[in-house]
Amino acid sequence: MAKATDKEREIHQLILSGDDLAFVKFCDEYYERIYEKVLVFNKLIFKENETLIMDVVTDTFLKYFRDPNRYDPEKQTLERFLLMDAEGDLKNEWEKWKRQNKNSVRSVELDEKNGNSIQDEEPDPITNLINKEDIELLYKKLKILFTDEKDIEIAHLMLAGERRSTEYAKVLEIEDWEPKEQRLEIKKQKDRIDKVIRRKLRTNE
C-alpha cells in the first residue's frame, strides 16, 4: 500500500506541531476532495439525506485534527486514511438514520437499489461496484483485479469520479511531462484499466 506523499507528511507534521494555521491548510487541501469522493460512492445516501455526508466528513477531519497520532504515514496515504475513516463513520451514521426513519418510503427504495432485493434491470458492473462497496472493500476488490499499485490508484481515482489530470499524473509519476503527452498517457492508462474492470467484473458476476 502506498505511503504518504511528501506533501501529506508536511501537513501531518504541521498538525502534530500544533501550528495555528495547520487546520486551515489541511482543509483547503483535502476537504473538498474527500467530500466529493465520498459523495460519489454514496449518491443514494445523498438523495435520502443531503447533509449526512457533509456532517460525517466534517467530523472525520475534526477527529484527525484532534488526534493525528491515529494516522501512520508509513502505512497509507493521508487521503486514503481520511476516505476510509469517513466511509466507516458514514456507514454507521446511515444505519442509525435508517432506524430513526424506518417508515421512509425512499429508505426502502434505497435498500433495494443497494442490492437488498432483486432488480429487474441488470446494472452496469462499474456502477454496481460503486453503489455497493465502501472504500475499504472497494480497495480490496481492486487489489484482486490489479497487481500493480499504480493501476489500483488510477482505478480508485476513476471510480471516485476524479477528473483532474494532475491527480493521475501524480500517480503515474509523469508530472514533468508536457501537457499533451500527459493527457495522451493518462487516457491510454484509463482506457486500459476501464476495460479490465468491465471485463473482470462481468466475468465474476
Average pLDDT over residues 181-201: 83
pLDDT of residue 204: 56
Higher pLDDT, residue 116 or 171: 171
| Averaged pLDDT of the chain | 79
Q: Report the distance separating Cα 185 and Cα 47, nearest Å.
A: 36
Share of the chain above pLDDT 90, in %: 21
pTM above 0.75, yes or no: no
Which band of pLDDT confidence, cut at 50, 70 and 90, is reported for residue 202?
A: low
Q: In this model, does residue 81 exceed pLDDT 60?
A: yes
Which band of pLDDT confidence, cut at 50, 70 and 90, is reported for residue 9?
A: very high
Do 33 and 79 contact (CB within 8 A), yes or no? yes
Q: Could you give the count of Cα atoms lying within 13 Å of 94 in the half-sphere of its Cβ?
A: 23
Higher pLDDT, residue 79 or 49: 79
What is the tens place of the pLDDT at every residue in 113-158?
554 433 434 445 555 555 545 566 667 778 888 888 889 888 888 8
Average pLDDT over residues 97-122: 54
Higher pLDDT, residue 172 or 107: 172
pLDDT of residue 102: 67
Do 48 and 107 contact (CB within 8 A), yes or no? yes
Q: Report the distance separating Cα 101 and Cα 93, nearest Å.
A: 12
What is the tens place of the pLDDT at every residue in 47-75?
888 788 988 999 999 999 999 999 999 98
Q: Which one, of 53, 44, 62, lies nearest residue 116 by Cα?
A: 44
Going from N- to C-terminal start, the domains of the chain cover 1-120, 122-205
| CA dihedral sign, ordered 117, 118, 120, 124 | positive
Which band of pLDDT confidence, cut at 50, 70 and 90, is reported for residue 103?
A: low
Do 154 and 190 contact (CB within 8 A), yes or no? yes
Average pLDDT over residues 28-35: 90
Higher pLDDT, residue 9 or 184: 9
Q: Which residues of 154-163 are buried (b: 16+ CB within 10 A; e: fewer)?
A: bbbbbbbebe
Chain position carrying cell 457533509: 54
